[in-house]
């Protein structure tokens, strides 16, 4: 856990950055309710996004909380309906500061999974292995392609939604997605090859 937000009052400086902070500003029940709703609706999305961007489970939980803390601070400035996009941008920036530490692996390196990467019966049961392999594959994609791929392919957002989140034209979403898929498939093929090599040796 990274931080704690007081249950009874919260600083509201988003719209008045220069003013002396007033810690006694009470959070309105509406604001608390809104934060609750935003958290309930988006916490898994933010956490999964951070995971797919290379953070481990604990780090992803820490950074998810950071993202919501930042959202809580700026609640008044976040437009209704833009909460998820705001959290996406915030989480992406948080991931950039974290992933250098967490995301070290190279696709086929250090794979004691090498002989197990084919989707055999036993392997299919291993959810953790699948997500680890997925993350290895995603780590081979440049960030701008990975984010589009994650949002569209894994989180199921439509192309216009992805365009709004990433703030690029829909046409660019399509072209990035095309390139991301090519790279994804190429990396998966490399993994499978490595799996076969491992199986033979």
Partner 1 sequence: MKRMQRLLDTTDTNDFELWLLRSAARERPSASAVAAMRSGLGLSGVTPLRIASLFSLKVTLLAVSFGAFLGLHGTEPSAPSFMNASLAAPGSIALEGKVNAAEREKVAPDTGLTSAPAPQLPVVGQTAASTKVNRAREHLASQEGAKAPTGPDLREEIRLLDSARNAIQGHHVEAALDSLNTYASRFPSGAFKQEASVLRIQAVAMRGETARASSMAKRFVESNPNSPYVGKATRIAKSPASTAAPQ
Q: In the window 108-147, what residues touch partner 1 (CB under 8 A)? A: 117-127, 130-131, 133-134, 137
Residues 153 and 110: their CA atoms lie apart, in Å, by: 27
The DSSP secondary structure of 70-101, one letter per residue, reads: HHHHTGGGSPTT-HHHHHHHHHHHHHHHHHHH
Pick the binder of partner 1 from 34, 53, 55, 66 (CB under 8 A): 66
Q: What are the beta bridge partners of residue 26?
A: 9
Contact call for residue 29 and partner 1 (CB under 8 A): no
Site residue total, partner 1 (CB under 8 A): 99
* Of residues 42-61, those binding partner 1 (CB under 8 A): 42-45, 47-48, 51-52, 57-58, 60-61
Contact call for residue 5 and partner 1 (CB under 8 A): yes
CB closer to partner 1 out of 85 and 143: 85
Residues 153 and 188: their CA atoms lie apart, in Å, by: 15
Contact call for residue 34 and partner 1 (CB under 8 A): no
Window of 7-15, 99-107, 108-116, 139-147 that interacts with partner 1 by CB under 8 A: 7-15
Separation in Å, CA 107 to CA 1, 6, 147: 30, 43, 18
Q: ∠ at Cα 12 (6, 17), nearest 5°?
A: 135
**What is the chain's length?**
201
Contact call for residue 105 and partner 1 (CB under 8 A): no
Contact call for residue 80 and partner 1 (CB under 8 A): no
CB closer to partner 1 out of 16 and 104: 16
* Of residues 169-198, those binding partner 1 (CB under 8 A): 170, 174, 177, 181, 184-185, 188, 192
And the tokens for 97? Answer: 């500061």
């Amino acid at each position: 856990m990274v931080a704690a937000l007081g249950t009874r009052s919260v600083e509201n400086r988003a719209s008045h950055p220069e003013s002396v902070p007033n810690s006694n500003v009470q959070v309105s029940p509406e604001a608390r309710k809104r934060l609750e709703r935003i958290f309930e609706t988006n916490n898994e999305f933010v956490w999964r996004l951070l995971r797919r961007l290379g953070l481990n489970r604990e780090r992803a939980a820490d950074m998810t909380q950071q993202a919501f803390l930042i959202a809580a601070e700026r609640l008044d400035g976040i437009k209704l309906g833009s909460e998820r996009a705001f959290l996406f941008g915030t989480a992406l920036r948080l991931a950039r500061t974290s992933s250098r530490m967490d995301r070290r692996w190279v696709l086929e390196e250090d794979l004691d999974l090498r002989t197990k990467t084919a989707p055999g019966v036993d392997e299919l049961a291993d959810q953790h292995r699948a997500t680890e392999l997925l993350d290895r594959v995603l780590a081979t994609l440049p960030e701008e392609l990975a984010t589009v791929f994650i949002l569209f392919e894994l989180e199921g957002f439509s192309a216009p939604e992805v365009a709004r989140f990433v703030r690029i034209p829909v046409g660019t979403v399509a072209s990035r997605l095309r390139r991301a898929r090519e790279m994804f498939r190429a990396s998966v093929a490399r993994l499978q090859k490595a799996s076969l090599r491992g199986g033979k040796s």
